[in-house]
């Protein structure tokens, strides 16, 4: 399977981009693995004719918006995102209309129509920088993640920030109670959390950041053990970069209490991210399907908000 993928990729001048939440074997075959911000920068810069996106729909759509002349393939069209789903264009349009004079900042975890209604996109890796690029008294709408939005609001002290009430099912499933219990069991471990986690969880974290920032922290930090409070796919790369360190996933609230922390069967996979398999990547490359398309009128508007983000995050 891997040989066939490599052969097709070369013959078709294709590139495979994968998010840190992807299955290990998918991360291994990818040309580039990164967080949402790094992946959008790669999608904008690549010279390949075909981009196979081992991630979720909004990521592939972002790649298509940035590189309309390229063929962008998403190996499984069911790879959606519960956070993107929590912000529908009609309600969002009404919300913006009800709050004129606000600058709209949207997380890239949104559909193209939401991006087209947005002034500046952001990711978890640059949200703070994007918000700080605006004058202090600027009125801001931040969508769709309430946890990331409220976290940024709390660290910037910005009162003029309206936060959309959306969330991701994976990060909502982490509880402060479970985390406290695990911290008691492993007192030496540092806690790393993604800003999509709820506030009580974030308050217990030693470091908060995007998947790339969490990974980077584990490479530079001196601790030997970490509790990783985000989708556990990122642990594959952490372990690869720091083979002598221990990484413990935090099981979600629905896992049995008796589940050991290092049993990944009990932890909190993103069911959308894990839909991508080597078989589906191979099929996508072979048949050049399923292809992601974005209507040109929406694409042009959405592109502006993504390019503004890329410009501001330099
Ligand atoms: P990153 O911005 O860290 O890549 O996170 C993307 C995501 O889907 C988080 O749930
Ligand atoms: Fe969406 Fe959450 Fe999955 Fe990230 S982890 S892709 S935000 S559902």
* pLDDT digit string, tens, across residues 229-286: 999 999 999 999 999 999 999 987 776 555 555 555 556 899 999 999 999 999 999 9
Helix (H) or strand (E) holding 152: helix 146-156
Write the CB contacts of 38 (distance below 8 Å, at least 6 apart in sequence): 32, 125, 212
Q: Are residues 163 and 304 in the same domain?
A: yes
* pLDDT digit string, tens, across residues 51-94: 999 999 999 999 999 999 999 999 999 999 999 999 999 999 99
Helix (H) or strand (E) holding 137: none
The answer to pTM > 0.85 is yes
Q: What's the confidence (pLDDT) of residue 263?
A: 55
| 17-45 mean pLDDT | 93
Q: Are residues 193 and 260 in the same domain?
A: yes
Query: Closest Cα partner for 124 from 177, 169, 83?
Result: 83
Q: Are residues 179 and 244 in the same domain?
A: yes
Q: Are residues 29 and 105 in the same domain?
A: no
Q: Are residues 135 and 207 in the same domain?
A: no
Of ligand 2's listed atoms, the one at least distance from the Cα of 58 is: 6
* pLDDT digit string, tens, across residues 193-235: 999 999 999 999 999 999 999 999 999 999 999 999 999 999 9
Q: Are residues 257 and 208 in the same domain?
A: yes
What angle, 0 to 180 degrees and rounded to 10, lies between the N-to-C axes of helices 57-66 and 296-312?
A: 90
Binned at pLDDT 50, 70 and 90, residue 40 comes out as: confident
Q: Are residues 9 and 28 in the same domain?
A: yes
Q: Are residues 183 and 147 in the same domain?
A: no
| 299-305 mean pLDDT | 97
DSSP per-residue letters across 238-297: HHHH-TTSEEEEPBPTTS-TT--TT-GGGB---TTGGG--HHHHHHHHHHT-SBP---HH
Of ligand 2's listed atoms, the one at least distance from the Cα of 21 is: 5
**Considering every ligand atom, which ligand is closest to the CA of 234?**
1
Q: What's the confidence (pLDDT) of residue 260?
A: 53
Q: Give the rounded distance of the alpha carbon of 150 from its chain centre.
A: 17
Q: What's the confidence (pLDDT) of residue 44?
A: 86
Number of domains in the chain: 3
Q: Are residues 155 and 188 in the same domain?
A: no
| 125-137 mean pLDDT | 95
Q: Which range of residues forms the domain containing residue 228?
A: 174-267
CA of 7 to the centre of ligand 1 (A): 30
- The mean pLDDT value of the chain amounts to 94
Q: Are residues 57 and 95 in the same domain?
A: no
The verdict on the CB of residue 109 being under 6 Å from ligand 1 is: yes
Of ligand 1's listed atoms, the one at least distance from the Cα of 211 is: 3
The verdict on the CB of residue 123 being under 6 Å from ligand 1 is: yes
pLDDT over 80 (residue 42) = yes
> Phi/psi zone of residue 288: left (φ > 0), alpha (ψ -120 to 50 degrees), beta?
left
Q: Are residues 58 and 204 in the same domain?
A: no
Q: What's the confidence (pLDDT) of residue 179?
A: 95
Q: What is the CATH number of the domain that holds 42?
A: 3.40.50.10800
pLDDT over 80 (residue 31) = yes
Q: Are residues 134 and 151 in the same domain?
A: yes
């Amino acid at each position: 399977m891997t040989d066939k993928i490599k052969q097709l990729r070369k013959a078709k001048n294709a590139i495979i981009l994968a998010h840190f939440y992807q299955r290990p074997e998918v991360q291994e075959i990818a040309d580039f693995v990164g967080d949402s911000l790094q992946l959008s920068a790669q999608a904008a810069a690549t010279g390949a004719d075909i981009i196979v996106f081992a991630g979720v729909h909004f990521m592939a759509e972002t790649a298509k918006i940035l590189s309309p002349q390229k063929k962008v393939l998403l190996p499984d069209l069911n790879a959606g995102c519960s956070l993107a789903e929590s912000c529908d264009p009609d309600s969002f349009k009404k919300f913006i209309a009800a709050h004129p004079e606000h600058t709209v900042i949207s997380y890239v975890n949104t559909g193209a129509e939401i991006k087209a209604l947005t002034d500046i996109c952001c990711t978890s890796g640059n949200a703070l920088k994007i918000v700080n690029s605006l004058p202090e008294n600027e009125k801001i709408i931040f969508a769709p993640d309430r946890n990331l939005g409220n976290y940024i609001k709390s660290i910037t002290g910005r009162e003029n920030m309206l936060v959309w009430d959306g969330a991701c099912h994976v990060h909502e499933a982490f509880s402060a109670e479970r985390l406290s219990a695990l911290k008691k069991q492993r007192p030496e471990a540092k806690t790393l959390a993604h800003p999509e986690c709820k506030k009580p969880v974030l308050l217990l974290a030693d470091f908060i950041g995007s998947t790339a920032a969490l990974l980077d922290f584990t490479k530079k930090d001196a601790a030997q053990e970490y509790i990783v409070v985000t989708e556990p796919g990122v642990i594959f790369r952490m372990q690869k970069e720091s083979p002598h360190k221990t990484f413990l996933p935090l099981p979600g609230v629905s896992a049995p209490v008796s589940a050991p922390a290092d049993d990944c069967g009990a932890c909190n996979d993103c069911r959308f991210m894990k839909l991508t398999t080597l078989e589906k990547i191979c099929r996508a490359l072979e048949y050049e399907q399923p292809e992601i398309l974005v209507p040109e009128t929406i694409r042009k508007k959405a592109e502006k908000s993504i390019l503004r983000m890329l410009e501001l995050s330099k």
